[in-house]
Structure 1
Amino acid sequence: MSADLVHVDTWLFDLDNTLYPAESGFMGQIEDRMTQFVVKVTGLPTEEAYALQKRYLAEHGLTLRGMMEHHGVEPAEFNALFHDLSLEALAHDADLLAALERLPGRRLIFTNADAFHAERVLTHLGLHHLFEDVFHIDSFGFRPKPDPAAFQAMLDVHGLEPTATAFFEDSERNLAPAADLGMTTVLVGAHAGASTAPFVQHRTEKLAPFLATARLRETRR
């Protein structure tokens, strides 16, 4: 059944593992770089550094936030780790491009990554021109999703009406604050079908067909 999204005029998308499939393995490259950085900063063996990285992610919403608070790491140093990653794993998706183009209203990116990474990935995917703005981790004071302060900053800067906004994410917990604000929530990825969270309104394994078949408001020509 196609999703009824006729009330939506603002389309808010996470970036990594949402606008490209997690199966690409690209995030695996990012995780490897993060682990080695934690090893360098803490002196821990790789397995312990990986566990610490995951603990910071769980506790703070972002490994970077934990590294900042507990080890004095500068955000620019951390984010630069990913600026030269190969993008070969990320393929153009003509179906996704067409599905995004049909969406009426505003399209925005809301990501815990930095601006350089976001723009580099969007450009490689051939999607950069479709989005009005990238609201990145620097934009909300390095307080990452799912911190409600990040969502409030997004609303304030862009003047969004939550009840007319749909938010697409691969991370279930990042959808909870969006639902609290009144946004329509969509969980994306192979794991989405198994979600039973009451704050997730729509679930889809693949983003392109979901958007392509959704019922949208009519636009005047």
Structure 2
Amino acid sequence: MMNTPSWQDFEHIDSWIFDLDNTLYSSATNLFARVDKKMGEFISKLLDIDLVEAKKLQKRYFREHGTTLRGLMEVHGIDPTAYLEFVHDIDVSDLVSVPELGVALEKLPGKRIIFTNGSHFHAMNVSTQLGIDRHFHHIFDIAAADYLPKPHKPVYEKLIRDFDINPERAVLFEDMAVNLVPAHEMGMKTVWIPGNTDWSREGGDGDHIHYRTDDLSRWLTDLLNDRARQD
């Protein structure tokens, strides 16, 4: 695993794929906690149980099914649209834009894609607040994945089919280390942005991680600066 990027390792890349939550913005913002809270509220109302029990069930479904949504769909047959509209109806107005990230994204050659287990609305809401929405060509959300979450490999296979991606010319940026495993198996470069949670760090010591960084903006800027030095 390396921390300092070298353009020589990325000069062949023409598809730059980014997870959304805790990747395009820092996990230190704790924004996802707002979504997490609404998940518990949805389950509490749906099943008429208190919030403590709802939270336990939420976490169990996350562990056993990959996402809370997948568990609710498989066990309770819920409508995913209603769930996603509820849990992603959050205030993101305090998210601070990172101009350096926008500058770096715009300079990356090829396609730039958001690949998220969340909804298209959530991806647009967050990326617009961050001031980086215009730098992406596509969003591949949970609906596009037929509600099958990362790290299920068929989701990655559908992603590359839908956007005509050559995985050997692609890189995936993720905060969850386990979500980088299928990407690595398919031939993608991988960059891990670890958070401070167990589910972010699970599987973080494998050879499926090529690079690690705690600051995506700085890492991309360093990569592009190395490119400029080689030109």
SS at match of 1:214: helix
Q: Which amino acid aligns with 1:175?
A: L
Structure 2, gaps ≥5 residues long: none
Within 5 A, what are the aligned runs for 1:29-108?
29-108=34-113
Q: Which one of the candidate residues 123, 129, 151 is aligned to 1:124?
A: 129
CA distance in 1: counterparts of 2:201 and 2:87, whole angstroms:
30
Deviation at residue 89 of structure 1 after TM alignment: 3.0
- Report the more deviating stretch, 80-89 or 127-136: 80-89
CA RMSD of aligned residues (A): 1.9
What's the secondary structure of 1:55's corresponding residue? Answer: helix
Gaps of 5+ in 1: none
Q: CA deviation at 1:193?
A: 8.8
Q: Which one of the candidate residues 184, 199, 202 is aligned to 2:211?
A: 202
1: CA distance, partners of 2:45 / 2:147: 22
Q: Which TM-score applies when normalising by structure 2?
A: 0.88
- Corresponding residue of 1:2: 5
Work out the CA distance in 2 between the residues paired with 1:63 and 1:190.
Answer: 19
Provide TM-score, normalisation by structure 1: 0.92
CA distance in 2, matches of 1:31, 1:130: 27
Tell me the distance in 1 between the aligned counterparts of 2:94 and 2:207. Answer: 33
Shift of 1:83: 4.2
Is the CA contact 2:99–2:131 (under 8 Å) kept in the aligned structure 1? no
Q: How far does residue 211 in structure 1 lie from its aligned partner after superposition?
A: 0.6
Which residue of the partner structure matches residue 17 of structure 1? 22
Structure 2 residue corresponding to 1:157, chosen from 156, 159, 162: 162
Report % sequence identity.
Answer: 36
Whether the 8 Å CA contact 2:174–2:180 is kept in 1: the answer is yes
1:41-66 Cα distance to aligned partner (Å, 9 max, x none): 22333222212111111222111110
Q: Deviations over 1:105-164 (max 9, x none)?
A: 110111111111111211111111111110111111111111111101101111111011
Whole-angstrom distance in 2 between the partners of 1:44 and 1:177: 36
8 Å contact from structure 1 (residues 5, 217) kept in 2 = no
Out of 56-65 and 151-160, give the one that drifted further: 56-65
Stretches of 4+ aligned residues off by more than 6 angstroms: none
Distance 1:47 1:84 in 2: 21
Letter in 1 for 2:211: H
**Does the 8 Å contact 1:68/1:74 carry over to 2?**
yes
CA positional deviation for 1:29:
0.4
| 1:90–1:125 CA contact under 8 A, matched in 2 | yes
